[in-house]
Structure 1
């Protein structure tokens, strides 16, 4: 049984989430629910739940302030919010997921499946962390990009993203310049390696170029040059864990 606690200043939000859990997640038990985050702190420290569903915007103390006040943090954190602008900060707090209200049943079941997997196999994202080991653009050597009639030697940190175009690949650089290569995106993914992530069938991005993650009317990231790159639903969680580092 997965023991959970809900913290949300809106009673109806707690009621709706508890109904979703009761209906679709029979092995999840809501052991406590709080509209006051100050009261929730003591309960979480004492009861030591497996997961906490936490709202961010609350009048007396916001969700991040509550997290900073906890002594016990060995639980899976699921942020629940009506707003999508806290996503990156949430995953820096090692959130398992970020669910937008009204909470979709499929999204809820998906995140609880991951919690079950973590609980059963003690999988804590080690594979994802290894993907970023030694990632430091300033220390990276140059990579050779074969173009038509020439080879371009560039630092990986100067590449912003790559876009697939059939058997070709468009490489976009930090300064706005673009080059077309006769390589498929999968080949570019293998060539660039750590520090880059294929977040969509057609796009490969440099992770530290991400400024924002947007979860509204679809999923996408905003890069440091203002480019918006779509995120496939299947890659959403992995991307956010990588951004969290």
Structure 2
């Protein structure tokens, strides 16, 4: 297993790394100092599991868990605060370690991890791609902080160089990601309608005389000729 430790306190990261160093089936351990760095390392390191603190500056552990790409790594929360247990399990955590925890308690969490990793591997062999669930929110880095954008607020998507514009009623923040990769994480609720755009299918009201998609709020979304047949078919069966 590859493990990512996410905690804003260096001593906590060091202690957990020492405790995990004795596990013979852990092949690599990486660390992240905050939620933003954690999401970056999930993409580059591809951990099987994350040991995740809850209270961190700027982006909390719960927000990180809700923003993981799918299929998401397994999450074990490790925190000094017991009041987050219910929302942690609502975020699909497989365990909740209350600091300070001992080696025996960590072993129980590791056993759960091993069982879930084995189960995922078996499911993947029988039904490839069936494990992922759509993202619920996206984290957008902006000058001076990080914005949480609920996926439910996004009306349509548009590429802009190396970014994707997230068109919402509250604005249009820029997410540094490709449109193709983002659509893979959002599921079937968004449909590509142009080589540079995708739309939330449920919000489409009509196709106008200029061949554009008109959303229920009046917004106009480009519709490419090569995508028109698929879009019309999707609208007919939504």
TM-score class, shorter-chain normalisation, is: 0.3 to 0.5
- Structure with the higher fraction of residues in strand conformation: 1
Does 1 or 2 have the higher relative contact order (CA < 8 Å, sep 6+)? 1
- TM normalised by structure 1 equals 0.46
- TM normalised by structure 2 equals 0.48
